[in-house]
Amino acid sequence: MEITQLRNATIVIHYKEQTILVDPMLAPKDAIPVLKYVTGKRRRNPLVEMPDETTYILNKVTHCLITHCQKGHFDHLDRAGTKWLRENNIPVFCSEQDEKYLIKKGLDTHVLSKEKVNPFFDSEISLIPCVHGRGVIGSFMAHGYGYYIQQRSEPSIYLTGDTVLTDDVSNGITRHQPDVVVIPAGGAKFDIGGDIIMDLEEAIEVGELTKEQVIANHLESLDHCPVTRAELSQEIHKRGWEKRFHIPNDGETVLI
């Protein structure tokens, strides 16, 4: 299995038979408004362009997974991503809460139950709840689901989705012991309220929960994500985790 980091939370999982696009934000740089207003310098989103090889990678995509996409979460499905999925007739898998929303977008929508293990190609996929921010700010967020995917003859993978480190997430890691965990490590926050995804400290906690591979993303693409790759890399180096804790650049592929 290979995992290509495109930008922010947008990744591509390459299996032998399927290629799965996750949470497509495909808009060009600066196409989307700012997320932080109380700042010395306002920056439109996304902060960076898509990698040069994006078109080549997308041409291989056979399916899509959406962790969450409502309440203004353009960074997991924007207009450009919706248009691309629709024009290319890509089957889109999602949780029950996003089914009607995606159908209205004209997408080929396939719902996954949170109540049971779902068949998924030649094996299965389970949903694990996300908490996309706590307290007052959390009440305004779309709390989606992470996905634990098992495929025959392939490494298992847990996509946590946009979440802080909760008991559900920790238990999902320790119980399933996935071969790879993909986490959002940007420490995103708005002008008010606390973090709405894992920050540097919680990313390190994930590295302590598992001895397997970790991939950190949601970095350096949106104006409300302060954690940098360099900061996280420094902490990984201190712990000697370089061979199992990956911080891919946009366009980089990690072989699992």
Q: Domains of the chain (ranges plus CATH)?
A: 2-255 (3.60.15.10)
Is pLDDT above 90 for 108?
Answer: yes
pTM recorded for the entire structure: 0.95
Do the beta carbons of residue 140 and residue 65 sit within 8 Å?
no
Q: What is the pLDDT of residues 6-36, one digit of tens each?
A: 999 999 999 999 999 999 999 999 998 887 6
Do the beta carbons of residue 153 and residue 170 sit within 8 Å?
no
Q: What is the pLDDT of residues 62-74, one digit of tens each?
A: 999 999 998 767 8
Give the pairing of strands 108-112 and 91-95.
parallel
d(CA 189, CA 205): 19
Position 58, amino acid: L
